[in-house]
Structure 1
Amino acid sequence: MRVAVGQVEPAFGDVDANVALTESVIREAAAKGADVVVLPELVSSGYMMASRDEAFGLAEVAGAGPATIAWKSLATELGVIVVAGFPEREGSRLFNAAILCLPDGQHTVYRKVHLWDEEALFFEPGDLGFPIVDTRFGRLGMMICYDGWFPESYRALALQGVDLVCVPTNWVPIPGQAVGQPGMATILTMGAAHANGIVVAAADRVGVERGQEFIGQSLIVSHTGWPVAGPAPATGSALLVADIDLAATRRSRAWGAFNNPVRDRRPEAYRLDPVR
């Protein structure tokens, strides 16, 4: 399977321009032979919402709004799987969501479980869990940005047999990082891939939006925990492409004759005793 990650800078509030931007990335990735294309969090709208009304005005019903219709159409036309972030509207509720579009026209929505900072003012916590999508390549899952700070997110997917986790994200600077150090987000992504024996494709955005800086550094990480593409630069658009052998990924989950970090779990030992 060939995986592509598109690192871009969306224009806040300009859905038409962002749809056109993502279309160009998807077409370029498909021309390079990509089977899966991952794009950033809230790439159809931009991230820095000023109010719930603004967020609601930029949101769409999955599969029925301009961005998700375009992504589904491109998936079918080009024969690729498209994963991208958008603000989802369901009745009066709003979600920070991602859609996975299959070439056969079907789609699956993931709603961000762990909301970051002022997202909680506008969005509902995700209520769909961590769904798995079976494809001809393997089992795909999704999460969004801050979800990656919770080991349980990756482990929930790993326990369902996920092969590739697609992560639309909008990573921001973490205080205390020294110049030249890798981003904390990239370290967490690499650690999660290694600890669970899975592939992770994380698509970040770049630029400054309403005063908020984003750090780029998108990457594709193999089941070993080492990047096979990226990290991309902290500034500027980038398209990362990597070939992934999911059969090798599955075989490698056993670390020799005795160890497998998913199978070796001991839930009975993780019980929290009352503080004495």
Structure 2
Amino acid sequence: MSQSTREAASAQGTLVASVQMEPRIGEKAENVAHSIRLIEEAAAAGAMLVVLPELANTGYVFESREEALELAEPVPEGETSCAWIDAARSLGIYVAAGIAEREGSRLYNSALLVGPDGYIGTYRKLHLWNEENRIFERGNLGLPVFETSIGKLAIAICYDGWFPEVYRLQSAKGADIICVPTNWVPMPGQPEQSAAMANILTVAAAHSNGVSIVCANRIGVERTQPFIGQSLIVGAQGWPLAGPASPDQEEILYARINVEQSRKSRRLNAFNEVLSDRRDDVYDLMLGTGWPVPLR
């Protein structure tokens, strides 16, 4: 890509990529190698931010806590973290990816954010889904928002998206783009032709909080558990920018996100702005966390 082409693309916004892939349970080295190939493919297409699925290095359906403990790694010094850090550094991009994290005897369903300068930070899933409650501890790092050269980035994982408080607090802390590594599964009672519940929730969250959301789901069936694919990228006005992806094929979705335009789009008309309209005389803007509201 020539310098002039790169500058023109930058003016249009940052190219982001959602990588929909199929990790294999327990095949960590193969999963990481495959993820690196997909990261490189996205970077070659011009992506500056690449999001991988939840537990992208290990697979999802652990038979026991002991199996998960054997596969989990410390972050960021573990081999998977180091591989993703090296890829981000060499390609000059940002990567958000789900990982099974071990901290001593404790296990977390986590995601790390890495960039051109190396490791940036970790998010630990707050809301555990189903059998995850037998495997992992609940996240204890809150909802960090990370300053980067492409905007303020935050992370949520899968079932976190069912809780409006997650996206609300991240947007209140200044997030521009929320990366969602996920392993969405079928929801009970879904009508045959209906959009995935996860997609509906994502669109609503993006619109009501004025944030862009990049969701990377996995595909396949693992130990009888099916996954639904349908990854998507939603802009800050709530309209899908790319996807939903296929329910059963690996693919990479791309979209451009202009952070400055996204921030302006929070103003819906001359009178209304989705963040400043909040009624702090009725409810606490930071939902009782005690976190300060950042200056904008």
Deviation at 1:267, TM superposition (A): 4.2
Equivalent residue runs for 1:250-261 within 5 Å: 250-261=263-274
Q: Does 1:82 align with 2:95?
A: yes
Q: Does 1:154 align with 2:158?
A: no
Q: Deviations over 1:152-192 (max 9, x none)?
A: 00001000110000000000001111222110000000100
Select which of 22, 25, 35 maps to 1:22: 35
Deviation at 1:106, TM superposition (A): 2.7
Quick one: which amino acid aligns to residue 134 of structure 2? L
Q: 1:263 corresponds to which residue?
A: 276
Separation in 1, partners of 2:123, 2:273: 28
Query: Aligned to 2:56, what secondary structure does the other structure show?
Result: coil
Separation in 2, partners of 1:212, 1:67: 24
Q: 1:274 corresponds to which residue?
A: none
Q: 2:225 corresponds to which residue?
A: 212
Deviation at 1:268, TM superposition (A): 4.1
Q: 1:190 corresponds to which residue?
A: 203
Contact 2:42 2:50 in 1 (8 A): yes
Separation in 1, partners of 2:120, 2:270: 39
Deviation at 1:269, TM superposition (A): 2.9
Q: Would you say how many aligned residue pairs link Structure 1 and Structure 2?
A: 271
Separation in 1, partners of 2:119, 2:74: 15
Separation in 1, partners of 2:104, 2:188: 38
Deviation at 1:237, TM superposition (A): 0.2
Q: Which moved more, 1:249-258 or 1:90-99?
A: 249-258
Q: 1:243 corresponds to which residue?
A: 256
Equivalent residue runs for 1:1-276 within 5 Å: 1-270=14-283
Q: Which aligned runs of 4 or more in structure 1 are off by greater than 2 angstroms?
A: 267-271
Separation in 2, partners of 1:137, 1:105: 15
Quick one: which amino acid aligns to residue 208 of structure 1? V
Q: Which moved more, 1:35-44 or 1:63-72?
A: 63-72
Deviation at 1:45, TM superposition (A): 0.3
Contact 1:83 1:101 in 2 (8 A): yes
Gaps of 5+ in 1: 272-276
Query: Aligned to 1:167, what secondary structure does the other structure show?
Result: strand
Separation in 1, partners of 2:76, 2:227: 28
Quick one: which amino acid aligns to residue 25 of structure 2? F
Query: Aligned to 1:171, what secondary structure does the other structure show?
Result: coil
TM-score normalised to the size of structure 2?
Answer: 0.90
TM-score normalised to the size of structure 1?
Answer: 0.96
Query: Aligned to 2:266, what secondary structure does the other structure show?
Result: coil
Query: Aligned to 1:23, what secondary structure does the other structure show?
Result: helix
Contact 1:72 1:107 in 2 (8 A): no
CA RMSD of aligned residues (A): 1.0
Deviation at 1:90, TM superposition (A): 0.6
How many percent identity over aligned positions?
Answer: 51
Separation in 2, partners of 1:75, 1:60: 19
Q: 2:9 corresponds to which residue?
A: none
Quick one: which amino acid aligns to residue 131 of structure 2? E
Q: Which moved more, 1:53-62 or 1:261-270?
A: 261-270
